[in-house]
Amino acid sequence: MDEKRRSPRVRCRLRCTLRGSGAPAEGVVRDVSAGGLAVQTALDAGEGDGLCVRVESPKGAPVEVNAFVWHAHRVRSRRTGESGFLLGLVVSNPPEAWFDRIGAPRPAPEARPAEPERPAPPRCCDEAQESFVVRLKQATSPRTRTYRVSASSLDEARTAAEAEAHEGWHVIEVHAA
96 and 133 in a single domain? The answer is no
| Low-confidence winner among 48-62, 75-89, 101-115 (lowest mean pLDDT) | 101-115
Q: Indicate whether 33 belongs to any domain.
A: yes
24 and 70 in a single domain? The answer is yes
Predicted confidence at residue 135, as pLDDT, reads 85
Q: How confident is the model at residue 48 (pLDDT cuts 50, 70, 90)?
A: confident
65 and 143 in a single domain? The answer is no
141 and 101 in a single domain? The answer is no
Q: Indicate whether 159 belongs to any domain.
A: yes
Q: Indicate whether 117 belongs to any domain.
A: no
165 and 99 in a single domain? The answer is no
Q: Indicate whether 113 belongs to any domain.
A: no
Q: How confident is the model at residue 18 (pLDDT cuts 50, 70, 90)?
A: very high
Q: Indicate whether 161 belongs to any domain.
A: yes
Structurally, how many domains does the chain consist of? 2
| Low-confidence winner among 18-22, 62-66, 79-83, 116-120 (lowest mean pLDDT) | 116-120
pLDDT, averaged across the chain: 80
Instruction: Answer yes or no: is pLDDT of 126 > 50.
Output: no
Domain that holds residue 95: 10-107
Give the C-alpha separation, 174 to 74, whole Å. Answer: 31
Q: Indicate whether 61 belongs to any domain.
A: yes
Q: How confident is the model at residue 26 (pLDDT cuts 50, 70, 90)?
A: very high
Predicted confidence at residue 170, as pLDDT, reads 84
Residues 6+ apart with CB under 8 A from 88: 36, 38, 69, 70, 71, 72
Phi, then psi, of 4 in degrees rounded to 5: -110, 110
Q: How confident is the model at residue 30 (pLDDT cuts 50, 70, 90)?
A: very high
pLDDT in tens, 114-125: 554 544 444 444
169 and 93 in a single domain? The answer is no
Q: Indicate whether 132 belongs to any domain.
A: yes
103 and 30 in a single domain? The answer is yes
Predicted confidence at residue 16, as pLDDT, reads 95
Predicted confidence at residue 109, as pLDDT, reads 60
149 and 103 in a single domain? The answer is no
72 and 157 in a single domain? The answer is no
Predicted confidence at residue 104, as pLDDT, reads 80
3-state secondary structure of 165: helix
What CATH number has the domain bearing residue 46? 2.40.10.220
Q: Indicate whether 115 belongs to any domain.
A: no
